[in-house]
């Protein structure tokens, strides 16, 4: 048995590792496929439609992106943590309904409803996560069940309390104006009205990126998604991390729910169904692996931006919006294939 690995090792290691140039390193990042897709899509719509690149239209694109992107932040983190959540679409509406129905029924200040809605949203995440870690069932089943239950609760309770399929208007109640200013106002930048959700979205992406890359919790999120057993063996609180991720998704859902409520003054109880897939699509386009352990918050944001561009771009290009879903499916396929190819090539070099 040769016992001189010290002499042979470094040379061999250098041969195999080599130096990667910065471009290759960049190509190894999870969100790069989405970035390429976003640039291509932007150039495409800019060339077919003059209005697309005008500031006002672009602000609208950003707004559309932000309503997906706010949720995509939480969903991306959750997917990196190895789980996903099918109840997000209706949970957003549950949050909005809680706020409006509670403050309407008890004629309280709407802020009371808003705070209660936060508790409900976090609670939904807590219950999802708790059932998941206790039963060890796949998140697909657990959250599919909560998706169905929440859909039913939204419709049933709204009719029971408000007597209609939509929540009653709360526009003349105390605190409505201040809540609207927080969740659904616009900021004028150089004569262009930019919705506040755009700023909330960017702030959330920044915070999520910081958590993911620079804090212990971020390390744990990657670890529980990459290999939960290994993480547990070295002392990572796996169950707390997973439950926390579901609650983070709940928090994002609360913000979007409040926006949906205060952008108007009532909420349709049957809304939200199907939106959960848009959030997952944004995260996947952004380079998050369905199997967990890999991805980024910025990627999810780019995914949401691609969604926003496609959604509004079709309108600005004056095509029939019927084509949108086809377009979305194609984008999803292309983006994930590009992701895969780019990642493989970057890792091979």
Partner 1 sequence: MNAQQIDQQTLLKDEKDPLTHTPVHLLSLENVGKHYGNIIALRDVTMAVDNGRVTCVLGDNGAGKSTLIKIIAGLHQHDEGTLHVMGDARKFSSPREALDAGIATVYQDLAVVPLMPIWRNFFLGSELTSGFGPFKSMDVQKMKDITKKELADMGIDLRDVEQPIGQLSGGERQCVAIARAVYFGAKVLILDEPTAALGVKQSGVVLRYILQARDRGLGVIFITHNPHHAFPVGDRFLLLKRGKSIGYYDKKDITLDELTAQMAGGAELAELAHELEQLGGHSDALEEVKAEVAGVADAAPESPSKKH
In angstroms, what is the minimal distance from the CB of 345 to partner 1? 15
Comparison of 208 and 236: residue with beta carbon closer to partner 1: 236
Comparison of 179 and 243: residue with beta carbon closer to partner 1: 243
In angstroms, what is the minimal distance from the CB of 248 to partner 1? 14
In angstroms, what is the minimal distance from the CB of 307 to partner 1? 26
Comparison of 16 and 325: residue with beta carbon closer to partner 1: 16
Comparison of 99 and 297: residue with beta carbon closer to partner 1: 297
In angstroms, what is the minimal distance from the CB of 117 to partner 1? 23
Phi first, then psi, for residue 194 (nearest 5°) are: -110, 125
Q: Where do we find the tokens 């509004």?
A: 312
Q: Please state, in angstroms and rounded to a whole number, the distance separating the CA atoms of residues 313 and 306.
A: 10
Nearest to 295 by CA among 136, 72, 59, 139: 72
Q: Please state, in angstroms and rounded to a whole number, the distance separating the CA atoms of residues 165 and 289.
A: 38
Residues found near partner 1 in the complex (CB under 8 A): 1-3, 5-6, 9-10, 13-14, 17, 19, 210, 214-216, 218-220, 222-223, 226-227, 229-236, 293-294
In angstroms, what is the minimal distance from the CB of 2 to partner 1? 7
Q: Please state, in angstroms and rounded to a whole number, the distance separating the CA atoms of residues 312 and 314.
A: 5
Q: Please state, in angstroms and rounded to a whole number, the distance separating the CA atoms of residues 274 and 276.
A: 5
Question: E strands along 228-283, which residues?
Answer: none
In angstroms, what is the minimal distance from the CB of 140 to partner 1? 21
Asked whether 176 and 169 are in contact (CB, 8 A), the reply is no
Asked whether 80 and 288 are in contact (CB, 8 A), the reply is yes
Which structure tokens are listed for 53? 């690149």
Q: In sequence order, which residues have a C-beta less than 8 Å from that of residue 276 and are 6 or more positions away?
A: 85, 86, 87, 88, 89, 90, 147
Comparison of 54 and 291: residue with beta carbon closer to partner 1: 291
In angstroms, what is the minimal distance from the CB of 75 to partner 1? 19
Identify the H or E element spanning 193: strand 192-195
Comparison of 17 and 325: residue with beta carbon closer to partner 1: 17
Comparison of 147 and 220: residue with beta carbon closer to partner 1: 220
In angstroms, what is the minimal distance from the CB of 133 to partner 1? 16
Nearest to 103 by CA among 94, 90, 112, 95: 112
Comparison of 5 and 191: residue with beta carbon closer to partner 1: 5
Asked whether 179 and 111 are in contact (CB, 8 A), the reply is yes
Residue 166, SS3 per DSSP: strand
Which structure tokens are listed for 287? 């380079």
């Amino acid at each position: 048995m040769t016992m001189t690995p010290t002499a042979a090792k470094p040379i061999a290691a250098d041969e195999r590792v080599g130096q990667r140039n910065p471009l290759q390193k960049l190509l190894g990042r999870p969100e790069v496929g989405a970035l390429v897709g976003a640039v291509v899509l932007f150039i495409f719509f800019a060339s077919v439609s003059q209005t697309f690149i005008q500031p006002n239209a672009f602000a609208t694109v950003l707004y559309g992106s932000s309503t997906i992107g706010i949720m995509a932040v939480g969903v991306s983190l959750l997917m990196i943590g190895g789980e996903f959540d099918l109840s997000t679409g209706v949970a957003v509406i549950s949050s909005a309904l809680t706020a409006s129905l509670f403050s309407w029924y008890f004629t309280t200040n709407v802020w009371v409803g808003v705070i209660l809605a936060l508790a409900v949203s976090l609670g939904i995440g807590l219950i999802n996560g708790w059932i998941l870690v206790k039963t060890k069932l796949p998140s697909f089943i657990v959250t599919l069940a909560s998706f169905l239950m929440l859909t039913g609760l939204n419709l049933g309770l709204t009719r029971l309390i408000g007597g209609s399929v939509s929540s009653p208007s709360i526009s003349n109640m105390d605190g409505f104006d201040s809540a609207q200013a927080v969740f659904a106002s616009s900021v004028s930048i150089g004569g262009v009205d930019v919705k506040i959700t755009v700023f909330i979205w960017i702030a959330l992406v920044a915070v999520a990126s910081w958590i993911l890359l620079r804090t212990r919790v971020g390390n744990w999120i990657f670890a529980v998604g990459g290999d939960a057993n290994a993480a547990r063996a070295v002392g990572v609180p796996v169950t707390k991390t997973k439950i926390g991720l579901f609650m983070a998704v709940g928090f994002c859902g609360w913000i979007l729910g409040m926006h949906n409520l205060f952008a108007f003054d009532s909420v349709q109880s049957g809304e939200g169904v199907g939106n959960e897939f848009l959030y997952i699509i944004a995260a996947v386009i952004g380079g998050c692996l369905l199997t967990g352990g890999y991805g980024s918050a910025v990627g999810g944001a780019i995914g949401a931006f691609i969604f926003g561009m496609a959604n509004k771009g079709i309108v600005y290009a004056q095509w029939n919006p019927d084509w949108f879903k086809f377009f979305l499916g194609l984008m999803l396929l292309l983006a994930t294939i590009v992701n895969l190819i780019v990642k493989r090539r970057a890792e091979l070099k």
